[in-house]
Amino acid sequence: MEPEASRADLDTGVDTGADTGVDLAEKRARALVGRVERRSLGVVRAGAAAEFARAAGEDAPRLVDPDHPEFVVHPMYVVSLLRGAPGADDAEFRPDGMYRDEVPGTDGLDVSLMAGGQDVRWSCAVRVGDDIEVRRTLVSVERKGRGAGFILLTVEKTYGTPERGVLVEVTERFIVR
């Protein structure tokens, strides 16, 4: 059983000096559980949504042609955006190219990041002109595997607008090793 002091370290994210990057990420992440973060993805533009659809390999006119009378924003568009326009400053990137704040608790640590999967649930369609805000909450931190193993982070996200409320809910998992 872990001594009480170690338990406290895990809760507060304190670096004890003998931790691996994964250990530190776990401590930091546990200290972030429940914290709500917000980010604006900006206003959804028809041209950008159509470009996304084309890049994803779609060819249906209603997804790739903004002038089509039945044009719709690809449902995966906003949930696939890591940032809105105009992008990010150089200082926002990790050496591996990922955003420093994309995977909670990993900023500045020499750890490998992988996506674990997602669950996406639409309650309403995202429309052109929606000014999308994403809210993210880290909900669980699990240590997995043998030896040093890895940590599995689960975050809950909502995408919506002040006027229309929540449009999409996402559960996303990250692997840190």
Partner 1 sequence: MRSAPDAIRLLRFGAVTRNAHRIHYDAEFARSEGLDGPVVMAQLHGCLFHRAAAEFAGGDPAAVRAVGWLNRAPACAGDRLTVTGTVREVGPDEIVLDLEERRGDGTVCCRGHAVVARRP
- Of the candidates 119, 91, 96, the residue with the CA atom closest to the CA atom of residue 106: 96
- Residues with Cβ within 8 Å of 50's Cβ and at least 6 positions away in sequence, in order, are 63, 64, 65, 66, 71
Q: Residues 3-22 vs partner 1: string with x where CB under 8 A?
A: --------------------
Kindly state whether residue 166 participates in binding partner 1, applying the rule CB under 8 A: no
For partner 1, which residue of 15, 96, 110, 142 counts as binding (CB under 8 A)? 96
- Residues 16-55 binding partner 1 (CB under 8 A) are 48, 51-52, 54-55
Residue 52 or 159: which CB sits closer to partner 1? 52
For partner 1, which residue of 98, 127, 137, 164 counts as binding (CB under 8 A)? 98
- Residues 125-154 binding partner 1 (CB under 8 A) are 125
> Radius of gyration over alpha carbons of the chain, in Å?
19
CB 176 within 8 A of CB 106: yes
**Rule CB under 8 A: which residues touch partner 1?**
48, 51-52, 54-58, 60, 62-63, 72, 74-76, 79-84, 87-88, 93, 96-98, 112-122, 125, 171, 173
